[in-house]
Amino acid sequence: MQISPSRSKYKKQRKGKAFNRINKQIRFNRLILGSLGLQAQESGRMTSKQMESIQQTINKIIKKSGKIIMNTFPQTPITKKPLEIRMGKGKGAVDHWIFKIQPGFVICEVETTTLDLGIKALNLAQLRLPFKTKLIFN
């Protein structure tokens, strides 16, 4: 089951401007609750499947010795038309949900007693993302 919002104001959205060109102030640019974190170094899109796979890999390693804090939630719907359909006839149905990420955004935080497990878990989580990330410490 993919993560998606229960309700949204509009069913479909436009793509919007490229996030690497927007100069906004980033809210989650430092650790708030965790001792370790995964920080994005470039802009990109993170799908709900990628968020779930990150949570699963971190949980698999940390188990009960720590806690995960995810700062992301998919808010933007991405539409797609079915294969072999002619052009026109309106916009396609919602295919999946994404979260737009800016450089410097802390994707997830890990609060754990053993730093070795946290570093190992976040290194495996980095492999599941389509953009560059780095580990940050508190």
Tokens found for residue 8: 């949204």
Q: Lowest mean pLDDT: which of 28-32, 43-47, 116-120?
A: 28-32
Structure tokens at 65: 């010795």
Rounded Cα distance, 88 and 4, in Å: 27
For the CA atoms of 9, 105, 123, 109, the dihedral, rounded to the nearest 10 degrees, stands at -80
Locate the domains of the chain by residue range.
Answer: 36-78+92-137
Model pTM score: 0.86
Local confidence band at 25 (pLDDT 50, 70, 90 cut-offs):
low
Q: Of 132, 138, 102, 108, nearest to 121 (Cα)?
A: 108
Q: What is the CATH number of domain 36-78+92-137?
A: 3.90.1170.10
Bridge partners, 47 (sequence order): 98
Confidence tier at 23 by pLDDT (50, 70, 90): low
66 neighbors 110 (Cβ within 8 angstroms): yes
Mean pLDDT of the chain: 91
pLDDT in tens, 65-89: 999 999 999 999 999 999 999 999 9
